[in-house]
């Protein structure tokens, strides 16, 4: 058996046998909740990985697309009686559609301008959730009374819900993995390294960016539906800017361009605050210090392909460059 195959099998055994067995043995809803949350955020981080890690686009509004998915699933479920079976793919499609619309005018932007545009998209969608009261219920949020219902079978047990979330997340992450390690993924990587060179080689950069952005939004939408169905209540604050930053941090800590790294980054940032609960009020400071240390001593993240500091310097610095005129340096 080849080594990669062995690792994959081992992971499958862990996710679908060891972890559920351990969770059943512990019999605590608390651990199930953390496991579910970890899957949702691993999927979110993996979907952002495609845009930020592989294609090298600094995306600051990912949580809002996650929110679109959650809202689509919750509103379809609570207002139109469309359950999980169809709600899940529709949440993905809804998020992808919104992403497509906002991508059209913004994807021609480069580097820091792109980052600012996605920041704007995130803020805009958040304000839509917050202020479009007739549809989204505004700040009152949406309550979803139905549980997960798969092709007519109601899934109520903790173990059942775990398996649904784990399967959906695992399949999505597998697809994202195939995408990022394919010919297509390499084209995205070339975009990250040098977009002008990529364009010169005949690759349509704008189309590639839109595709990556939309695919990533689709999976963020799926994650949103999982969150809506496992919590039963969503409101705009669940999808604000700080959540976008949290997801971005997972990608950076894990390592730009490495999917296993990103997944471990997500696990770390979900589990660490829980493990550190023992320390009381200073637990967030500890998490912050660890992240600071990570970026200082592991600028490539845990398994990254790219140095995050150099990446940031390139993205943020490209608008600021040396200028040989009298002024010396200045904005382009």
Query: Which residues of this protein are in contact with other proteins, per CB under 8 A?
Result: 28-30, 32-34, 37, 127, 130-131, 133, 138-141, 143, 231-235, 237-238, 273-274, 277-278, 280-281, 283-284
Q: Which is nearer to other proteins, 130 or 206 (CB)?
A: 130
Q: Which is nearer to other proteins, 84 or 114 (CB)?
A: 84
Q: Which is nearer to other proteins, 273 or 317 (CB)?
A: 273
Structure token digits, residue 231: 């919590």
As a whole number of angstroms, the distance between CA 109 and CA 54 comes to 17
Least CB distance to other proteins at residue 85 (A): 21
Least CB distance to other proteins at residue 46 (A): 18
Long-range contacts: 164-168, Cβ < 8 Å, 24+? 164/84, 165/35, 165/36, 165/39, 165/40, 165/226, 165/230, 166/15, 166/16, 166/19, 166/20, 166/35, 166/39, 168/43, 168/88, 168/222, 168/226
Structure token digits, residue 330: 């200045």
Smallest Cα–Cα separation from 51: which of 219, 216, 205, 204?
Answer: 216
Q: Which is nearer to other proteins, 33 or 106 (CB)?
A: 33
Q: Which helix (H) or strand (E) holds 241?
A: helix 241-254
Least CB distance to other proteins at residue 279 (A): 9
Q: Which is nearer to other proteins, 50 or 263 (CB)?
A: 263
Q: Which is nearer to other proteins, 108 or 283 (CB)?
A: 283
Helix 84-106 and helix 205-231, axial crossing angle in degrees, nearest 10: 150
Least CB distance to other proteins at residue 264 (A): 19
Least CB distance to other proteins at residue 131 (A): 6
Least CB distance to other proteins at residue 198 (A): 38
């Amino acid at each position: 058996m080849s080594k990669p195959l062995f690792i994959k099998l081992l992971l499958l055994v862990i996710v679908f046998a060891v972890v559920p067995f351990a969770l059943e043995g512990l019999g605590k809803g608390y651990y199930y909740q953390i496991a579910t949350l970890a899957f949702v955020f691993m999927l979110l981080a993996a979907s952002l990985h495609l845009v930020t890690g592989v294609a090298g686009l600094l995306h600051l509004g990912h949580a809002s697309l996650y929110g679109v998915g959650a809202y689509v699933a919750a509103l379809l479920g609570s207002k139109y009686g469309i359950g999980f079976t169809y709600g899940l793919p529709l949440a993905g499609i809804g998020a992808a559609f919104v992403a497509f619309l906002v991508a059209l005018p913004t994807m021609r932007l480069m580097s820091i301008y792109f980052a600012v545009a996605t920041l704007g998209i995130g803020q805009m969608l958040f304000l839509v959730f917050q202020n479009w009261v007739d549809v989204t219920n505004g700040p009152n949020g949406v309550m979803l009374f139905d549980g997960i219902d798969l092709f007519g079978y109601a899934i109520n047990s903790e173990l059942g819900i775990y398996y649904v979330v784990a399967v959906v997340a695992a399949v999505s992450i597998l697809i994202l993995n195939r995408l990022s390690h394919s010919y297509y993924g390499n084209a995205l990587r070339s975009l990250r390294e040098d977009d002008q060179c990529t364009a010169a080689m005949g690759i349509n950069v704008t189309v590639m960016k839109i595709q990556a952005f939309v695919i990533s939004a689709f999976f963020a939408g799926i994650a949103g539906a999982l969150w809506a169905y496992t919590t039963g209540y969503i409101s705009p604050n669940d999808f604000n800017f700080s959540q976008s930053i949290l997801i971005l941090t997972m990608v950076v800590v894990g390592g730009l361009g490495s999917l296993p790294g990103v997944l471990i980054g997500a696990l770390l940032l979900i589990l660490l605050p829980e493990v550190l609960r023992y320390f009381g009020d200073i637990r967030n400071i500890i998490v912050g210090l660890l992240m600071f240390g990570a970026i200082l001593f592991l600028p490539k993240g845990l398994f990254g392909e790219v140095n995050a500091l150099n990446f940031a310097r390139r993205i943020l610095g490209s608008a600021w460059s040396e200028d040989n005129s009298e002024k010396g340096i200045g904005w382009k």
